[in-house]
Chains A and B, each alone.
Chain A
């Protein structure tokens, strides 16, 4: 108990001192990896598809079709296979909730 309290105190102290309250979720970090091509926060420049605010089910279906090979692609069939179905669900939900 004392040990735990000490550890908490150190963590709390540094957090309080730095005043940093932000928390980055795992899915937000995964989604940031898509931004190289699909734009920061899912808003793309010309020539690539924006993902922000798209329908969740449509996004997921598209990714699953890339993954199974049903939908032809130059590159997304190779990248979609790097993610589990559940990870793709989380990503689709994340992008659909962003402002267009």
Chain B
């Protein structure tokens, strides 16, 4: 029988035009014709956009749809709240994706997706066809679980600051305006949520600011979970070593409502708590566009995917990345992980558009640094490998772990990590 390579060559020479005709609109425009549309320019989407271009030797057309003018990083944003970094320090423009990698950037929101016609409808009214769609919409908040937050102005008063940007700056201003002796209350939703160690780092960073500027003030953490979700021993040690008597941790405190006018948190089982500054991290789920497209098949919250390709289990030709997916065991919802999803998905999309099998053995790591003071840092790391039998990513036995102790050396690495991942994602 004819060898496959030969067959492809023969067909490629004689029937490419017929093929184009057969598949109609899919192939129109561009040198290779293949069209990938990426929705969402965070760690997952921006990385996927860049790496589809790199991995296809710039042969696949990539359009990135993102409403924000620039990327603002959630990692390091707790240092903006602490005061040693500015919002400009954690902001990176999208220009290089366009200039260096030829990604077409469309500043818009997606109104709807037609999975049958492979068409994205933009909020501004335009339509974009795709051969494969990569959706990286991040998280959205389940405001219906906190009825008081629907009142006018409530969401401007009680902040989440869990999407870096205007709310990060606004929370810093609230802390600056709070008198010495005030209480900052931070509530944490039930897992899974974006960035498991993030709330405990934030408590450290707010206490770090208080220690310097408002030493009579306090931090109270209300955690809906039974215990600290990440780096427990390291955070408890930091709270004792650096902020003894300043940080109080209360587990099993689930916020069920908020009175924003009085900064009052209401709990499922415990007494109300009135704070000077209330910072509520609400329950979250996959970004709204993933939910409305019918992709959030796990509890109507998270999107189940094939971990070889990140293709949705619900819709063909739509891939989902980052915080919006139903995670594999031991896989955190983190920016580092989303960047890794982006590359794995990009390699698979290039293979599939070339008519090839996706790679069989994804292996990638997660590295997550947390600041416990403005200089001392701790980390958690893990390596994740595809398990063909269980069809999911599993942590490699014996790999990974946490810091032995907080250190300034890891503080320097944390800043180097941010410079490098921002460049890898956006430059």
Bound pair (A, B): yes
Q: Which residues of A contact B (CB under 8 A)?
A: 1, 4, 8-9, 11-24, 26, 28-30, 32-33, 35-40, 44-48, 74-75, 78-79, 81-83, 87
Q: Which residue of A lies closest to B7 (CB)?
A: A8
Q: State how many angstroms separate the Cβ of B39 from the closest Cβ of chain A.
A: 20
Q: State how many angstroms separate the Cβ of B166 from the closest Cβ of chain A.
A: 27
Report if B421 contacts A (CB, 8 A): yes
Binds A, one of B62-70, B148-156, B377-385: B377-385
Pick from B15, B50, B55, B413: contact of A75, CB below 8 A: B413
The interface centre, meaning the residue of B51, B363, B382 with most chain A CB atoms within 10 A of its CB, is B363
Q: State how many angstroms separate the Cβ of B364 from the closest Cβ of chain A.
A: 4
- Residues of A contacting B413 in the complex (Cβ-Cβ under 8 angstroms): 47-48, 74-75
Q: Are B12 and A81 in contact (CB under 8 A)?
A: no
18 sampled A-B residue pairs with Cβ under 8 A: A8-B8, A11-B356, A13-B23, A14-B19, A15-B353, A17-B19, A18-B27, A18-B33, A20-B350, A24-B347, A26-B359, A29-B362, A35-B424, A74-B403, A78-B401, A79-B399, A82-B384, A82-B399
Within B370-412, the residues touching A (CB, 8 Å) are 379, 381-385, 396, 398-401, 403, 407, 409-410, 412
Q: Are A20 and B353 in contact (CB under 8 A)?
A: yes
- Residues of A contacting B353 in the complex (Cβ-Cβ under 8 angstroms): 14-15, 18, 20
Q: Are A81 and B398 in contact (CB under 8 A)?
A: yes
C-alpha gap A35/B360 in the complex (Å): 20
Report if B343 contacts A (CB, 8 A): yes
Q: Are A12 and B363 in contact (CB under 8 A)?
A: no
Report if B129 contacts A (CB, 8 A): no
Residues of A contacting B: mostly = helix
Q: Are B423 and A45 in contact (CB under 8 A)?
A: yes
The interface centre, meaning the residue of B4, B27, B403, B424 with most chain A CB atoms within 10 A of its CB, is B424
Pick from B22, B54, B363: contact of A13, CB below 8 A: B22
Report the contact-size class of chain B (Cβ under 8 Å from the partner). Answer: 35 or more
Q: State how many angstroms separate the Cβ of B84 from the closest Cβ of chain A.
A: 17
Q: Are A33 and B33 in contact (CB under 8 A)?
A: no
Report if B131 contacts A (CB, 8 A): yes
Report if B32 contacts A (CB, 8 A): yes
C-alpha gap A17/B212 in the complex (Å): 63
Q: Which residue of A lies closest to B400 (CB)?
A: A78
C-alpha gap A82/B386 in the complex (Å): 12
Q: Are B34 and A81 in contact (CB under 8 A)?
A: no
A24-B350, A48-B417 are known; give 4 further A-B pairs, CB within 8 A.
A17-B26, A21-B354, A29-B347, A37-B420
- Residues of B contacting A32 in the complex (Cβ-Cβ under 8 angstroms): 51, 343, 347
C-alpha gap A13/B14 in the complex (Å): 11
Q: Which residue of A lies closest to B14 (CB)?
A: A16
Q: Are B56 and A20 in contact (CB under 8 A)?
A: yes
Q: Are A36 and B16 in contact (CB under 8 A)?
A: no
Q: Are A46 and B131 in contact (CB under 8 A)?
A: no
Q: Are B399 and A13 in contact (CB under 8 A)?
A: no
Q: State how many angstroms separate the Cβ of B31 from the closest Cβ of chain A.
A: 7
Given A19-B33, A23-B356, A47-B412, A82-B15 contact (CB < 8 Å): no
Q: Are A29 and B343 in contact (CB under 8 A)?
A: yes
Q: Are B421 and A81 in contact (CB under 8 A)?
A: no
Q: State how many angstroms separate the Cβ of B134 from the closest Cβ of chain A.
A: 15
Q: Are A16 and B412 in contact (CB under 8 A)?
A: no
- Residues of B contacting A81 in the complex (Cβ-Cβ under 8 angstroms): 383, 396, 398-400
